Amino acid sequence: MELYELNLYMLTEGLKAKKFSASEIFESCKNRIDKCEDNIRALITRTDSTPQTSENPEGVLGGIPTILKDNLCTRGIRTTAASKILGDWKPPYDATAWKLLRESGAVLMGKANMDEFAMGNTCGNSAFGPTHNPNDISRVPGGSSGGSAAAVSAGYVPFSLGSDTGGSIRQPASFCGVYGLKPTYGMVSRYGLISYGSSLDQIGPFARTVRDLQLVMSVISGHDPMDSSSFRDKAHDFTHREDVSLKGKRVAVVKEFQGFGLDAPISEAMKRTLKVLEDEGAIITEVSLPVVSKYAVACYYALAMSEAHTNLERYDGVRLGYTVKDATGIKEMFERVRSYGFGAEVKARIIAGTCLTEPTRCEEYYVAATKVRTLIAQEFSRAFGETDYIIQPVTPSLPGKIGEADDDAMKGYETDLYTLPVNLAGLPGLSFFTGYAGNLPVGLQLIGRRWSDSELLDAGIILERHLGSPKIADGGQATARKKLYLEER
């Protein structure tokens, strides 16, 4: 077995036992990236061109390679948010999440591709082109953190970081066949994360086992004085435990979601997983979320686009990134910079946010959405008075083909409805692996009450025991071999 195939826990234990060195891990991961990157295109910037030494070889993650979504600031290393408007900007500071990983000994291999400013769900809305799903390079990896998920799936690194504003960790984790955690809002510092929707964004990890998620969360979670929304005075223990149990735990499906259609593999995965939960002693129940099912999508987009409009005002050609030097005035400069620098999806969301926060409409849309959000959070709070976890799909469909138009508006609505309510209520959500449908992985989602992240991962450990762990994706190698064979013929 190659070192890149080992999960994070195996690598840390192997290093402790001196079975191999950090340099050997580095070279194995680097060679894997060299072999697969032309097919997958998971990375915007590579930082592995020369051998690197860990800042803290004796740390929890001493010598372990990782990859960051390219909206996480890295001091002195290009950070683009997959947009032309940032150009070759090199931040003068590190995101707190990366600072904590770096101080624990992690080694940065690169910055991952994403939907521009995290706006999208295919990893195709990028100024650097689309990322391909490592399990089938004709299909999308999901978004917006598609590059981070694809990198772990293909064996570039044992873990990576992404961000989740409305499903951007959970959906690509499901599509690529890895585990992904969207933590409780405030569990991980957002300092140094390039903002899309500040009240919705949350940084979280991808890995190939739940135990690996626990290890990463033990490093990156905690209060940060640089982020006023990070939690205070809450003790969270992400230590791995073997004696976890679901006996007597209540796991609910959402009543209002049961009428929605699912692809057969996802429907079968739900049935199989519910049986596992019952066999483990869990009590399967049902909760009703009428406000969520009726208003969550409209509420989310009113808030997210309004916040995007505000957050992206700073990109004006003066303070950051791309600029023009031959404009005849400030107005022309702003127009040219923003017209060239932003992609179509980002422009559309900025314009929508501008309309939603316009003084004559603000009360009707944005302020109303903030009130509905409170109702949604209260509805979830009541639901978690009746249950311990909620289980549901991440998406109703398996990943589509790259560039494939989705003309089914209802299908898009259902997809959003499964993920974005978690962000509105600030809840933790775990995307977990259930198996394969052909060569495509199938994932589901387990949701917990606020601050139950460690218990959520404990439940994930039990599910992983029964449903198995994902394998390293082919990374397009079969396609490459077939192409070479045809060329030789």
Question: What's the pLDDT tens digit per position in 212-256?
Answer: 999 999 999 999 999 999 988 766 889 999 899 999 999 999 999
Catalytic residues: 69, 144, 168
Range with lowest mean pLDDT among 138-152, 200-214, 230-244, 331-345? 230-244
| Cβ atoms of residues 344 and 127 within 8 Å | no
Q: Which pLDDT band, with edges at 50, 70 and 90, does 413 fall under? A: low
The C-alpha atoms of residue 32 and residue 482 are separated, in whole angstroms, by 19
Question: What's the pLDDT tens digit per position in 104-147?
Answer: 999 999 999 999 999 999 999 999 999 999 999 999 999 999 99
SS3 content of the chain, % helix, strand, coil (to 5): 40, 15, 45
The pLDDT of residue 368 is above 70: yes
Q: Has this prediction a pTM greater than 0.75?
A: yes
Q: Residue 256 to residues 109, 384, 386, 441: CA-CA distances in angstroms?
A: 43, 16, 16, 26
Q: Which pLDDT band, with edges at 50, 70 and 90, does 324 fall under? A: confident
Q: Which pLDDT band, with edges at 50, 70 and 90, does 6 fall under? A: very high
| Cβ atoms of residues 235 and 195 within 8 Å | no
Averaged pLDDT, 289-307: 97
Instruction: Tell me the domains of the chain and their CATH numbers.
Output: 3-288+388-488 (3.90.1300.10), 291-373 (no CATH)
The pLDDT of residue 1 is above 60: yes
The C-alpha atoms of residue 49 and residue 105 are separated, in whole angstroms, by 19
And the tokens for 40? 């997958």
The pLDDT of residue 168 is above 50: yes
Q: Which pLDDT band, with edges at 50, 70 and 90, does 319 fall under? A: confident
Our CA angle for 101, 65, 142, nearest 5°, is 90
